[in-house]
């Protein structure tokens, strides 16, 4: 859980590096949370507003950790 929280703590840090573990933990946990939200939204029959809010909340941290991961692989964040 500590590794998952790291991108949230550095949500607006676009320089530096992010290791494989930090990047993939963040991506996979967000994927699982999104799937659970979508399944629950379909079961309850509500519009996916919760999924939309979750997606918006994770947008900037996802971009930031993605750019830091690119830096870790030796590529530019503008790649």
Domain-located, residue 26? yes
Tell me if residue 19 falls in helix, strand or coil.
coil
- Residue 77 domain-assigned? no
Asked whether the whole model's pTM tops 0.95, one would answer: no
Residue 79 lies in a domain: no
Full domain range(s) for residue 62: 2-8+16-72
Cα–Cα distance measured from residue 19 to residue 7, given in angstroms and rounded to the nearest whole number: 11
Instruction: Indicate whether 79 pLDDT > 70.
Output: no
CA count, 13 A, side-chain hemisphere, 60: 9
Residue among 4, 5, 2, 7 at smallest CA distance from 61? 7
Assess if residue 68 is contained within a domain: yes
- Which one, of 53, 60, 1, lies nearest residue 68 by Cα? 60
Residue 40 lies inside a defined structural domain of this protein? yes
Q: Is residue 64 part of a domain?
A: yes
Higher pLDDT pick, 3 / 77: 3
For the chain, how many structural domains are there in total? 1
For 29-54, write each residue's pLDDT tens digit: 999 999 999 888 888 877 678 888 99
Angstrom distance (rounded) from CA 73 to CA 49: 35
pLDDT of 55-69, one tens digit each? 999 999 999 999 999
78 in any annotated domain: no
């Amino acid at each position: 859980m500590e590794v998952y929280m790291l991108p949230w703590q550095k949500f607006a840090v676009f320089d530096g590096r992010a290791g494989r573990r930090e990047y993939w933990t963040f991506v996979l946990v967000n994927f699982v949370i999104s799937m659970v939200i979508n399944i629950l939204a379909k079961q309850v029959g509500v519009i996916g507003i919760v999924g939309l809010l979750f997606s918006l909340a994770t947008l900037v941290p996802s971009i930031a950790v993605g750019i830091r991961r690119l830096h870790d692989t030796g590529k530019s964040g503008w790649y």
